[in-house]
Amino acid sequence: MRVAAPSVTLRPVEARDEPFLRRVYAGTRADELALIPWSRDEQEEFLRQQFDAQDAYYSTHYDNARFDVIEVDGEPAGRLYVARWDDEIRIIEIALLPEHRGRGVGTALIRELLEEAAQNGQRVSIHVEKHNPALRLYERLGFEPVADRGVYLLLEASP
């Protein structure tokens, strides 16, 4: 028996999505926070501050970017933030709730961006933490490290 692939769509982020986007962000930090002996209140305060700082940074430095909610089978499942420049598509952020990881959703979205870039003669880039398990996915899709930025690697895939 073959299981049908999930239906994946994107829609622009709206103000009403903030609680969901905070949940997605928290999901990206869960493993890290599990190692720190903080109370639930301390963790929530940390996540609030970090989300707010990241959101402000993205809004300031990527003013022409597209900020989308990833929906799987009609339900919010993650976020995809992408900047498009003349010679490059930058994946600012791609993150899925834990229950949606490992189902091919991220792979499909990244492949679409790679196809778009190939058609337009652009490269695709993304910053990834050196210990992020998704690094294997990016390498499998043809990304290679082009710069070491301390905690992060800048990866690129060229057409």
3 state SS of 130: coil
The Cα–Cα gap between 16 and 75 comes to: 14
Tell me how far CA of residue 115 lies from CA of 54, 55, 92, 129, 155, in angstroms.
28, 28, 17, 24, 17
pTM of the complete model? 0.92
Q: What is the pLDDT of residues 45-99, one digit of tens each?
A: 999 999 999 999 999 999 899 999 999 999 999 999 999 999 999 999 999 999 9
**CATH superfamily of this structure's domain 8-157:** Gcn5-related N-acetyltransferase (GNAT) (3.40.630.30)
| Residues 6 or more apart in contact with residue 129 via CB below 8 angstroms | 135, 151, 152, 153
Q: What is the pLDDT of residues 2-15, one digit of tens each?
A: 445 679 999 999 99
Max Cα distance, the chain (Å)? 49
